[in-house]
Amino acid sequence: MPKIALLGGSNSVLKDGLKAGLSKNAELYNYALGASTSLQNLHELIKNIEVISNVDCIVTESNVNDFHLVWMANFPIDIVLSNIDKYYDELSKCDTRIIVILLPLVTRCNLAKEINNKHKENILRYGFPYIDLDKLIYKSGLLDFYVRDNGHPNRFLMNYIGSNVSANIFDIPFSESRNLATDMEYYVFDVGNNFDEFQVKKNSIFSRSVHELNYEVLFPSELYGYNILGIEAWSDGYSKLKVETKEKEDSKSYIKAYNNELQFHDFSRCIEVTELTQFMSDLSKDKPSEFSLNAYLVNSFYIEDSKPKNKPYAVKVSSVLLGKRNAKVGFQEQSKLVDKDYSQFVPDLKLLHDFSIESRYKKIRLKKIIKAKLRYIYLKYFIN
C-alpha cells in the first residue's frame, strides 16, 4: 500500500474530509494541525523528516491559514510571505511526489491575492503538481454552496479529491526543480522531552509531551545563534509566553498570547537565542506584544476559554522551531516555471452540486411520504 504524508491545517484534520479520502487507498501519516500556517508545516517537515522522506507522496495545504493569520490576528504579511518561501524551499528538497492544494478563500481582497500568489509562485518555481480549488470554485459560481463556513470547503468534496489523489498517486510526477543549495539551517527543540517534569497531553486526535513553564527556562548552548521562528504549545486555557533576553543595561522581552488548543504559533519578531535568553509564562494581566489565531482582541477584550481564571494559565510548551542563516552549500538546479495543474482530481462542481440538490430533494420528499403514510395509519387504526 502506498504511503502519504499530509501537511496542512484544520481542513486536513476534519473527520470525513480530505484525510478520510486519502486514507482509502493509502497509508496516511497526518501531521496537520488546525489554525496553523505553512510555518507549522515546515516545523512538522523538519521534525518528522525521516518518515516523510520515505513516503510515496506529500499532500500539502496551508493558504487559508496563512491568510487568516494576517487577516484575523493582524500578523505582518511580510513575515508570512517569507515563511511560505522557507517552507517550499525545504519542501523542494524532498525526493518524492508532492501535490499542493490551494483551498478557496472567501474573499478577493489584496491580502488574499498576495498569499495565493506567493504559493503559486513557489508551486511554479519548483514545478509542483497542484489543485487550484480556489480558482475552480470561484469559476463555478458556487462558493456559497461549497464553503459554508469560514475556510472549510464541503467535506464530501474534499473526501472525493483525497480519494482521487490516493488512487492515482503514481500518476503524479516528481517536481521539475529541487533546491539543494540553502542558506537556512533548522532545528526543532523538543521541550516536552528535554525536561524531567513533563506530562503527556492528548485527546482523540493528538498526543504531545508538554512542559509547563512554572519557572524561567534557558536554552541549551548548542542553540545559541539560532532565531526563534515559532513555538508549539498546548495550554489548559488562555496563557501568555514571555521570551526575554536579559542584558547588562536593559532587557528585551516579547510576550505572545496563546489559547487552549494544540497550536503552532508563528513569531513575528526576530529573537536570537543567547546565553541570556530565557522563556517563561507571563502571569500578569498586561496586554501581550502579539496575538495568535484564536487568541486575539475583539472589541478590546481577550478571547479566553469558557472558564477563565483571575489570571492567565501557565503555558505548556511542546516544541520550538529555530532557524539560522548559514553559508550556501550544495547546488541549486536551474529553476523552471512549470505549470502542472491537476484539476482532473476535482469532480465536475456544477454536476456535483445538482446531484446534491436532487438527493436532498429526494430525501425531503421521502420523509413527506413516510409522514403521510404514518398519519394515514394513525387515523385509520387509532382514531376510527
pLDDT digits (tens, 9 = 90+) for 243-252: 998 775 566 7
Q: Are strands 27-30 and 152-153 parallel, antiparallel or unpaired?
A: unpaired
- Specify the pTM: 0.88
Rounded (10°) CA dihedral 189, 194, 195, 198: 80
The residues that bridge with 376 in the sheet, in sequence order, are none
- The pLDDT value recorded for residue 201 is 94
Is 70 exceeded by the pLDDT of residue 302?
A: no
55 or 327, which is more confident? 55
For 45-57, b/e burial (b = at least 16 CB within 10 A) is: bbbeeeebeebbb
User: What value does the mean pLDDT take over residues 115-119?
Assistant: 97
**Grid cell at residue 189:** 527543540
Q: Are 366 and 155 in contact (CB under 8 A)?
A: no
- Residue 80's SS3 state is helix
User: What value does the mean pLDDT take over residues 332-353?
Assistant: 81
User: Which residue bears the cell 484575523?
Assistant: 72
pLDDT digits (tens, 9 = 90+) for 222-268: 999 999 999 999 998 888 899 998 775 566 789 998 888 899 999 99
Is 60 exceeded by the pLDDT of residue 298?
A: no
- DSSP letter string over 94-150? S-SEEEEEEPPPS---HHHHHHHHHHHHHHHHHT-EEEEHHHHHHHHT-HHHHEEET
- DSSP letter string over 5-73? EEE-SGGGTSTTSHHHHHHTSSEEEE---TT--HHHHHHHHHHTHHHHTTSSEEEE--HHHHHHHHHHH
* Averaged pLDDT score across all residues of the chain: 86
CA distance 338 to 146: 29
- The pLDDT value recorded for residue 153 is 93
pLDDT digits (tens, 9 = 90+) for 36-49: 899 999 999 999 99
User: Which residue bears the cell 490576528?
Assistant: 73
Lowest mean pLDDT across 12-16, 246-250, 353-357, 358-362 = 358-362
- The pLDDT value recorded for residue 249 is 59
User: What value does the mean pLDDT take over residues 62-86?
Assistant: 94
Q: Are 176 and 123 in contact (CB under 8 A)?
A: no
Q: Are 233 and 318 in contact (CB under 8 A)?
A: yes
- The pLDDT value recorded for residue 300 is 40
Is 90 exceeded by the pLDDT of residue 335?
A: no
Instruction: Work out the pLDDT band at 176, boundaries 50, 70, 90.
Output: confident
- The pLDDT value recorded for residue 375 is 62
